[in-house]
Amino acid sequence: MPSQQKVTMRPPRVVVSGCGYWGANLVRNFSALGGLAGVVDPRPDVAASFSAKHSVPALDWTKALADPAVDAVAIAAPAELHARLVREALDAGKHVFVEKPLALRHAEGSGLVAEAERRGLLLMVGHLLQYHAAFIKMREMVRAGELGRLRYIYSNRLNFGKVRREENILWSFAPHDISMILTLAGEAPESVHTEGSFHLHPAIADTTLMHLRFASGVGAHVYVSWLHPFKEQKLVVIGDKAMAVFDDGQPWSDKLTMYSHSIDWIDGRPEPRKAAGRAVALEESEPLRDECSHFLECVANASTPRTDGREGLSVLAVLEAGQRSLESKQSVPLADIVAHVGAATAAHSSDHFVHPLAAVDDGCTIGKGTRIWHFTHVLKNSRVGENCVIGQNVSIGPDVTIGDRCKIQNNVSIYPGVALEDGVFCGPSCVFTNVMFPRAEVARKNEFLPTLVKRGATIGANATIVCGSTLGEYSFIAAGAVVTKDVPPFALMAGVPARRIGWVGHSGDKLGKDLVCPREGRRYHLAGPERLEEIATK
C-alpha cells in the first residue's frame, strides 16, 4: 500500500448556545481559536448581532444539532436547562461543553455522563479555575509535596451582586471552589454541612458557608456571598510544611503566594514561626481561552478533558449534599447522594475507570483512559488498550486483545480467537463466532478459528462475523449483515450473506464515483477489482 502522509484536518467546529453575559465570552474565544461554527440564542436580534460580528451563521438549536458539519456544542444557558440541552446534543452525536453546573440533580448528571460514555462522546464541564495558571501551579505544588501533608483548605468567593433568582448563591458561586478543593484533596468528602442566610428572598440563600469533612482528616470550607461590600476570590491551602494562597483579585505577579510558616514545639507547646510570603512566578494567560483551547484539543484528539463529565458529577454530588444540608440544617453524608461513591471515586482516580458493577479478572491489562461499564466482564489474561469505551453487559476474553481507542457497545461478546486492532467500533449486540459448527454437547475448543478486525473498521448493530474472517482496515459492516468471508479494506458490506455495495473512506463516509471523501477530501483509487487504496498526498 502506498505510504500515507498526514492530511491537514480542519479544527473541530463548535456552535455556542447562549450569547448572554458569559456565553459572549465563549463566542469570543472559540472565534479567536478558529473553532466557531455558529451561534444560537432565543433572542433573534442578539443572535444576529453575534453572527455579524464573528462572521458565522445564527442557527436554530435543532438545525445546529442536525448539521453534520458541527462537531460540538458549547452550552451557556440557564442552569435549569443544562440537563435537557446536554441530552439533546448527545442524542444528536455532538461533543458537549457545558457551563457549570452539569445539571441540578446528581441522578440527572449521572445519566448524562453514562450516555456520553456509551456513545463515545466528550462531555466537559466549565469549571474555569481548573484552567487558571495559578491553580495549575498550586495543584502541582500540592502533588509534589511542597506544602507537606494537607491540613485545611478554604475558599472565599464574595461580591456585591450579581443577584440571581433562578439559583441560589451556593449553586451560582460555589461550583468552581468545590471543583478546586476536590482536586487538591484527591478524594470525595464523607459529609457536607451548609449554613445559609436569606435576606432578599425567603427561599433563595444570599450567603452560604459549606463545611467539607474528608476521610483523610482534611477539612475544608467554602464561603460564598453576593451581598458583600467588596470582591474577594481567594483559595487558601494549609499544609504541615507550608501554606499557599491563590488570590485572583491580585495582579499576576502576586496571584499565587507561598508562605513557609512552621510550628515549633517547645516545652510541649506550639510556637508559630512566621516566614515572609514568596510570590510564585506564573505565565500570564486567559483561563477561558485555555479552557476553550483544551476542549478543542480534546475533541480533535479524542482525549479526556481535565474537567470531564465525571469530574463535573463529583462536584454535583457535593452541591446536592450541600443543598440538602441547607434545607435540613443537618450534615449530609455524601453516600446519601450517590451509591457506590467511594468505589466510583477510587476507580476514577486511577488511570482508567471500571464501574463497581463490572468485573476484571486477574492477569488483565486495562489501558490508560479506558472506561468499562456496568455488568461487563473482562476475563483473565485479556488486554484492553488505551482510551477505549466498553459498554454495558460486554464479555471480553479470556486471552483476547483489544487495541487502543476501540468502542464496544452494549451486549457484545469478544471470544478467544477474536482480535481487534486500534480504533474498531462494535455496534450494539453484534456477534462474533469462534467455531463453524457449534454443539452444546461437543467440545470444540481446538477448532477455534481466528478472526481479525483491522484498524478503524466498523461493525454495525446486530451484525454477525463468522469466525475465520479478516475485516480489512476501515471497512464498514452494515447493521444486520452476516460476514462469511474476508472483507477488503474500505469496503462497505451489507446483506445476508454480506456483499460489497460500495466503498467508504477513513471517516466512514460513503465514497461516490469520484472516490473522493466528501468529509475529509481524501482521494482514493482502485488498485485492483476489490482493492481500494488512498492516493498519497505530497
Shared domain check, 150 and 118: no
For 141, the grid coordinates are 505544588
| Percentage of the residues of the chain whose pLDDT score is greater than 90 | 75
Question: Minimal CA–CA distance to 475: which of 452, 504, 496?
Answer: 504
Q: What is the dihedral of CA 400, 406, 409, 415, to 10 degrees?
A: -10
466 neighbors 498 (Cβ within 8 angstroms): no
Does residue 5 have a pLDDT over 80? no
**Could you tell me the CATH number of the domain that includes residue 110?**
3.40.50.720
Q: What is the pLDDT of residues 255-266, one digit of tens each?
A: 999 998 877 778
For 356, the grid coordinates are 463497581
pLDDT at 338 (0 to 100) = 65
Shared domain check, 135 and 102: no
Shared domain check, 450 and 387: yes
Shared domain check, 160 and 63: no
Shared domain check, 481 and 410: yes
Shared domain check, 172 and 265: yes
Shared domain check, 160 and 61: no
- In a domain, residue 6? The reply is no
**Could you tell me the CATH number of the domain that includes residue 217?**
3.30.360.10
For 115, the grid coordinates are 450516555
Shared domain check, 527 and 399: yes
- In a domain, residue 7? The reply is no
- In a domain, residue 495? The reply is yes
Picking from 126, 146, 163, the residue at the C-terminal end of a domain is 126
**Could you tell me the CATH number of the domain that includes residue 484?**
2.160.10.10
pLDDT at 344 (0 to 100) = 39
Q: What is the pLDDT of residues 502-532, one digit of tens each?
A: 999 999 999 999 999 998 899 999 988 889 9
Q: What is the pLDDT of residues 28-72, one digit of tens each?
A: 999 999 999 999 999 999 999 999 999 999 999 999 999 999 999
Instruction: Answer yes or no: pTM beyond 0.85.
Output: no
Shared domain check, 236 and 330: yes
Number of independent structural domains in the chain: 3
Task: Report d(CA 122, CA 438) in Å as an integer.
Answer: 41
Does residue 237 have a pLDDT over 90? yes
Picking from 336, 370, 405, the residue at the C-terminal end of a domain is 336
Task: Report d(CA 512, CA 502) in Å as an integer.
Answer: 9
Candidate from 234-248, 268-282, 322-336, 473-487 with smallest mean pLDDT:
268-282
- In a domain, residue 450? The reply is yes
Q: How confident is the model at residue 9 (pLDDT cuts 50, 70, 90)?
A: low
Residue span of the structural domain in which 79 resides = 14-126
Kindly provide the b/e burial profile for residues 131-160, where b requires at least 16 CB atoms within 10 angstroms of the residue's own CB.
bbbbbbbbeebbeeebbeebeebbbbbbbe
Task: Report d(CA 208, CA 14) in Å as an integer.
Answer: 36
Shared domain check, 247 and 230: yes
Residue 212 host element (H or E)? strand 207-213
- In a domain, residue 215? The reply is yes
Strands (E), 353-478: 353-354, 359-360, 365-366, 371-372, 377-378, 383-384, 389-390, 395-396, 401-402, 407-408, 413-414, 418-420, 425-426, 431-432, 451-453, 458-459, 464-465, 470-471, 476-477
- In a domain, residue 8? The reply is no
Contact residues for 306 (Cβ-Cβ < 8 A; gap 6+)? 130, 131, 294
Shared domain check, 521 and 478: yes
One-character DSSP codes across 226-247: SEEEEEEEEEEEEESS-EEEEE
Residue 82 host element (H or E)? helix 82-91
How many Å from the N-terminal Cα to the C-terminal Cα in the chain? Answer: 15
Does residue 7 have a pLDDT over 60? no
- In a domain, residue 303? The reply is yes
Strand order in the sheet with 14-17: 36-40, 14-17, 72-75, 95-99, 123-126
- In a domain, residue 175? The reply is yes
Q: What is the mean pLDDT of the chain?
A: 90
Task: Give the three-state DSSP class for 9.
Answer: coil
Shared domain check, 210 and 104: no
Picking from 126, 158, 180, the residue at the C-terminal end of a domain is 126
